[in-house]
Amino acid sequence: EPEVTQTPSHQVTQMGQEVILRCVPISNHLYFYWYRQILGQKVEFLVSFYNNEISEKSEIFDDQFSVERPDGSNFTLKIRSTKLEDSAMYFCASSEETASNQPQHFGDGTRLSIL
């Protein structure tokens, strides 16, 4: 069964450094998402992406964050200057259609640790 893959599984970065989290969504999917889960807290929406542009973003997704689909297969999340509070598990998801019609499929996540 096709799946969403995320790399790396664990990223350790010094505070203030840039980090890029990578995701390969399922190939025929059109909608892409990033979520994060701070340890012990709920999964929070960051951003959704459709037709090569952001369709919605949360208040967490400030100017330090950006997303890109650089080619036909990858979907990346960049954090420009990481802060300690960016430490979390980041999940990528994709869906063929909107969530009410087709479920979002999640990757296994990237654990980001900021030192």
Partner 1 sequence: GNSVTQMEGPVTLSEEAFLTINCTYTATGYPSLFWYVQYPGEGLQLLLKATKADDKGSNKGFEATYRKETTSFHLEKGSVQVSDSAVYFCALSDTNFGNEKLTFGTGTRLTIIP
Q: What residues make contact with partner 1 under the rule CB under 8 A?
A: 4, 6, 31, 33, 35, 41-45, 48, 55-56, 58, 91, 93, 95, 98-101, 103-109
Cβ proximity to partner 1: between 15 and 38 the closer is: 38
| Omega cis (within 30) before 103 | no
As measured in angstroms, the least distance from the Cβ of 25 to partner 1 is 13
Q: Is 71 left (phi over 0), alpha (psi -120 to 50) or beta?
A: beta
Q: Could you tell me the smallest distance in angstroms from the CB atom of residue 16 to partner 1?
A: 29
Nearer to partner 1, 28 or 41 (CB): 41
- Closest by alpha carbon to 61, among 39, 33, 84? 33
Minimum CB separation from partner 1 for residue 49, in Å?
11
Rounded Cα–Cα distance for residues 10 and 17 (Å): 16
Q: Which two tokens stand for residue 52?
A: 């090569």
In the complex with partner 1, which residue's Cβ is closer, 109 or 112? 109
Handedness of CA 101, 70, 52, 68 (dihedral sign): positive
Give the nearer residue to partner 1 in terms of CB position, either 57 or 69: 57
